[in-house]
Homo-oligomer: A and B are copies of this chain.
Amino acid sequence: MKLYDSKMAPNPRRTRIFLAEKGISMPTEEVDIAAKQHKTPEYSAINPFQRMPALVLDDGTVITESVAICRYVEALRPEPALFGIGAKEVGLVEMWNRRAEINFFANVAAVFRHLHPAMKDLEVPQVPAYAEASRPRVFWFLELIDKELATREFVAGNRFSIADITTYVAVDFMKPGRLVMPDHLSNVKRWHAAVAARPSARA
């Protein structure tokens, strides 16, 4: 197995944190986004979508999409469960992971990709009006999740899950997007500090 990774991008970080929570390490190759290495014919042959991460299995099968790699790993090594245990928790973890992706992470990414000068050659065309439409949605979600986190320890319940990983990586991705966490969101801050203190957060 070999993992194509990028330390610059948020999605590969999701997979690294997931692997660290599982206690798994594997051979890794860094793909240099700044040098547009992910746009080369060599990397495109591995992943035509030109994104990281990509996991190449020993039989040559390629699994891309950070969460798909996580699901593959969960199926091989179920403990600790990061996608929930039992039908109801499985449903709620998937719900919160998707809510965090669609309503938060995607909006943070839109602000960064469609406004940041460094993305000019990578997000073509940049549509600044789309970034501005996405910006208030970031804060709408943060207000909502702050109220939720007043009632429980983690994003999807009282067990750490992939939904925490997604939300945590997206919060940290606010910084390059020049989005500032509102001071009054004390539950989000308590939760973020707790996740940041886990050894996996350094992955």
Q: Contact residues of A with B, CB < 8 Å?
A: 48-49, 55, 57, 61, 63-65, 67-69, 71-72, 75-76, 86-88, 90-92, 94-95, 98-99, 102-103, 125, 127, 129-130, 133, 144
B-side contacts of A55, CB under 8 Å: 91
CB A87 to nearest CB in B, in angstroms, measures 4
Bound together, the chains give a CA A75 to CA B61 distance in angstroms of 26
B127 & A48 in contact (Cβ 8 Å cutoff): no
Main DSSP-derived SS at the A contact region: helix
Identical copies in the complex: 2
B57 & A88 in contact (Cβ 8 Å cutoff): yes
A75 & B57 in contact (Cβ 8 Å cutoff): no
Bound together, the chains give a CA A99 to CA B49 distance in angstroms of 9
B67 & A94 in contact (Cβ 8 Å cutoff): yes
B75 & A95 in contact (Cβ 8 Å cutoff): no
B-side contacts of A95, CB under 8 Å: 63-65, 68
Partner of A76, one of B87, B99, B127: B87
